[in-house]
């Protein structure tokens, strides 16, 4: 929801539990993937995953390890962990590729 807010998306954001992807329009598109129910990454060919992954939008992917060899080599991983308190979260960023390395530098990471 924080990503959507930053992209100026004003519609409700819900997880695409029974579909692979929800699309949201804002300043730039947000493509929210939930791959929990994905048994075989080749099913992503049927939805044209490349149009999402290599578009100018942002892909937020839950369960990215299910992408297998389709996981982009260049990416920014956002890891959300529970904090010490019940309502506390720790957010970690991990860059893969120069573009995302530069982005994290700009963000002050």
Counting residues of the chain whose pLDDT is more than 70, the rounded percentage is 99
CATH number at residue 37: 3.40.50.300
Would you place residue 43 in the very low, low, confident or very high pLDDT band (cuts 50, 70, 90)? very high
**Under 8 Å between Cβ of 28 and 55:** no
| Same domain, yes or no: 38 and 66 | yes
Whether residue 14 is found in the same domain as residue 62: yes
pLDDT in tens, 51-93: 999 989 999 999 999 999 999 999 999 999 999 999 999 999 9
Query: 60 with 85, same domain?
Result: no
pLDDT reported for residue 18: 83
64 and 80 within one domain? no
In terms of domains, do 33 and 1 share one?
yes
For residues 24 and 13, the answer to whether their CB atoms sit within 8 Å is yes
100 is in which domain, residue-wise? 73-109
- Whether residue 31 contacts residue 21, with contact meaning beta carbons closer than 8 Å, is answered with yes
Calpha distance 75→95 (Å, rounded): 6
Are 25 and 39 part of one and the same domain?
Answer: yes
State residue 88's pLDDT score. 94
Classify 6 in phi/psi space as left (phi over 0), alpha (psi -120 to 50) or beta.
Answer: alpha
DSSP class of residue 67 equals G
pLDDT confidence of residue 14: 84
Break the chain down into helix, strand, coil percent, rounded to 5.
30, 30, 45
Over residues 26-36, mean pLDDT: 94
67 lies in the same domain as 83 = no
Task: Looking at the structure, tell me whether residues 105 and 63 fall in a common domain.
Answer: no
**Going by DSSP bridges, is the β-strand pair 89-96/75-82 parallel, antiparallel, or unpaired?**
antiparallel
Domains of the chain: total = 2
Instruction: Report the 10 Å Cβ neighbour count for 65.
Output: 8
Output the pLDDT for position 109.
57
């Amino acid at each position: 929801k924080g990503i959507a807010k930053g992209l100026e998306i004003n519609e409700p954001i819900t997880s695409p539990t029974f579909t692979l992807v929800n699309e949201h329009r804002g300043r730039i598109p947000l493509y929210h993937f939930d791959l929990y129910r994905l048994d075989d990454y080749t099913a992503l060919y049927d939805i044209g995953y490349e149009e999402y992954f290599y578009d100018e939008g942002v892909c937020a992917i839950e369960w990215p390890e299910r992408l297998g060899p389709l996981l982009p080599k260049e990416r920014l991983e956002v890891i959300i962990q529970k904090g010490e308190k019940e309502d506390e979260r720790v957010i970690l960023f991990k860059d893969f590729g120069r573009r995302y390395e530069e982005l994290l530098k700009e963000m002050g990471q």
